[in-house]
Amino acid sequence: MTTCGNVTIPYPFGTAPGCYLNRYFYVSCNDSAPGGPTPLLWSTPSIEVLSISLSGELRVNTYIGTDCYTQSGARRLPVKAYAILPAFPFSTTKNKFTAVGCDTLAMTNGDDVNSSITEGTCNGIGCCQTAVPKMLLNYNASVSSFRNHTQVWSFNPCSYAFITETDSFNFTREDLSGMRNWTRVPSVLDWSIWNQTCQESQKDPSTSVCKANSECFDHEDIRGYRCNCSAGYRGNPYISDGCQEEMEKDALLTSPMSSRLWL
């Protein structure tokens, strides 16, 4: 297990040759990043890794699409949000495709999101969310305006579109004018051992990714699988002897030692 900055990189991920399962699990560590060492996932563009969970969640920072206008309605240079992920799709249960702005149309992969301000719920005027489709690997979000924000410019000069971790985004009215300095938001990817089922992986035990005292589980949405330590064990099921037996609380209590003082 290695670290890059404040992020722990557990196997099957790794930052050096021979330390990750395959190219999909390679994480580069940018030691020259302005904020200090930053882990980057192999993707287009490179995406900052925020955390990696052995339960199959990979938290990353993804980019925001923006569409801004001047007071007269002249369009500024729009910014598209996109990501090409080689193997790990956006989670359908942990994320929402989100559009922020009045007079806004946001689209991703052919799915229209109609913009329709309810504090904290993001389901009314000024903010709209919809589910992320399964197996979303190639993400390209565009955002535009019907009337160039001319009728709402004083409090909302821009529109925004992004995929965000549901629990990380809490819409407020201030977001309509205060998101211009935002460039990225947290998102969650589902990772698994790509393009193989448990049954296929267990045909040759010598090459099985799931090690001793662990169990294999097929992914619900994609052709892939994950490993979990068996009941009564904990640790990393992807490394040899990574799943260690949990000690009972009673076993941690040692018998009191008697002591004598001889004079």
When the pLDDT of each residue in the chain is averaged and rounded to a whole number, the result is 85
Under a CB-based contact definition with an 8 Å cutoff, are residues 167 and 186 in contact?
Answer: no
Task: Determine the average pLDDT of the residues in 190-209.
Answer: 86
101 and 160 co-located in one domain: yes
184 and 205 co-located in one domain: no
**Residue 51 forms part of a structural domain:** no
100 and 145 co-located in one domain: yes
Task: Determine the average pLDDT of the residues in 149-154.
Answer: 92
Task: Determine the average pLDDT of the residues in 240-247.
Answer: 91
Q: Is 28 exposed, middle or buried (0-12, 13-18, 19+ CB in 10 A)?
A: middle
Q: What does the alpha-carbon distance between residue 131 and residue 92 come to, in Å, rounded to a whole number?
A: 7
Higher pLDDT, 34 or 261: 34
pLDDT of residue 108: 75
Whether residue 45 is preceded by a cis peptide bond, meaning omega within 30 degrees of 0, is yes
The DSSP annotation for 107-167 comes to EETTEEEE----TTT--STTEEEEPPPTT--EEEEEEE-SSTTTTTTTT--EEEEEEEEGG
**Residue 47 forms part of a structural domain:** no
149 and 101 co-located in one domain: yes
19 and 110 co-located in one domain: no
Higher pLDDT, 237 or 253: 237
pLDDT of residue 124: 55
What does pTM read for this prediction? 0.84
200 and 135 co-located in one domain: no
**Residue 24 forms part of a structural domain:** yes
37 and 77 co-located in one domain: no
**Residue 83 forms part of a structural domain:** yes
Number of domains in the chain: 3
**Residue 71 forms part of a structural domain:** yes
Residue 260: band (very low, low, confident or very high) from pLDDT cuts 50, 70, 90:
very low
Higher pLDDT, 50 or 119: 50
Whether residue 85 is predicted with pLDDT greater than 70 in this model: the reply is yes
**Residue 164 domain boundaries:** 61-190
pLDDT of residue 122: 54
